[in-house]
């Protein structure tokens, strides 16, 4: 299965560039990733007390620039191009505005879908409750879009917020089984990283973006000649 091939390639890339990607993961946490930690710290107590925890993803919007910066690095690592920490800062400077736009759309739609899911689950009518299955599927689909979004942003020759979201939507829709398996694998790796807490800090950010970068590379390899794939790889410089 292609999803397992992408996972293997991602883990291999992490191993081959272990010290670089550990450093870049730490840098990601310092330059924006802490907003994701804040999202969990705020959302979990709100869930416990019955508050509007579904709004918590909005807190994570500022993580966008750091995520684009790390995606800029993993884009090159996935294509076996030279990569060092200078590409992180280059990616941050180049993509920060568009990354905020992408991050805002991802967060707001996540909140809206979660709210709709909670609404239908809470209704007493069985038929209405059944509609919650639709929103579960939509959330899984949207999570796969999030895996692809930032690697697509840094891989585009002329990056744009709407262009990134549109391409990520198409990629997830055109590869449904692959995308669902990728979300499941990402969830399992996230769970493992939480259990082995040190991995959350040192490896989790990089491996999540490597999954997206290798997925994009695999799709391009399947639909484009090698020359075109090379030009896509150069799109992020």
Q: 23-47 pLDDT, tens per residue?
A: 999 999 999 999 999 999 999 898 8
Tokens, residue 119:
């609404």
pLDDT band at residue 223 under the 50/70/90 scheme? confident
pLDDT band at residue 229 under the 50/70/90 scheme? very low
Residue found by looking up tokens 């180049």 in the block: 94
> pTM of the prediction?
0.90
Residue found by looking up tokens 């639709």 in the block: 134
Say if CB 36 and CB 72 are below 8 A apart: no
Asked which of 75-79, 181-185, 202-206, 220-224 is least confident by mean pLDDT, the reply is: 220-224
Has residue 181 got a pLDDT over 70? yes
Number of folded domains in the chain? Answer: 1
As a whole number of angstroms, the distance between CA 172 and CA 145 comes to 6
Rounded average pLDDT over 47-64: 92
CA gyration radius, the chain? 18
Say if CB 55 and CB 231 are below 8 A apart: no
Which one, of 217, 162, 225, 170, lies nearest residue 5 by Cα? Answer: 217
Domain coverage including residue 141 = 2-236
Question: Within a 10 A sphere around the Cβ of 102, how many other Cβ atoms?
Answer: 27
Q: Which residues, in sequence order, are CB contacts of 135 under 8 Å at separation 6+?
A: 113, 116, 117, 120
Residue found by looking up tokens 């829709």 in the block: 173
Q: 138-163 pLDDT, tens per residue?
A: 999 999 999 999 999 999 999 999 99
């Amino acid at each position: 299965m292609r999803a397992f091939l992408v996972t293997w390639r991602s883990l291999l890339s992490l191993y081959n560039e272990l010290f670089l990607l550990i450093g870049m993961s730490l840098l990601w946490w310092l330059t924006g990733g802490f907003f994701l930690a804040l999202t969990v710290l705020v959302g979990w107590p709100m869930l416990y007390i019955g508050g509007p925890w579904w709004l918590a993803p909005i807190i994570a919007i500022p993580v966008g620039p750091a995520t684009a910066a790390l995606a800029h690095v993993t884009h090159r690592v996935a294509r076996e191009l030279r990569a060092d920490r200078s590409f992180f800062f280059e990616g941050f400077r180049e993509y920060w505005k568009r990354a905020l736009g992408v991050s805002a759309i991802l967060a707001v739609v996540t909140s809206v879908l979660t709210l709709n899911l909670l609404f239908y689950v809470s209704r007493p009518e069985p038929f209405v409750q059944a509609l919650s299955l639709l929103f579960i599927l939509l959330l899984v689909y949207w999570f796969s879009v999030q895996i692809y979004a930032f690697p697509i942003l840094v891989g585009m020759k002329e990056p744009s917020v709407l262009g990134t979201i549109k391409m990520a939507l198409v990629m997830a829709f055109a590869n449904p089984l692959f995308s669902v398996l990728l979300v499941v694998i990402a969830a399992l790796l996230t769970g493992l990283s939480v259990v082995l807490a040190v991995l959350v800090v040192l490896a989790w950010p990089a491996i999540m973006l490597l999954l997206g970068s290798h997925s994009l590379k695999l799709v391009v390899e399947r639909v484009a000649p090698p020359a075109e794939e090379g030009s896509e790889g150069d799109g992020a410089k």
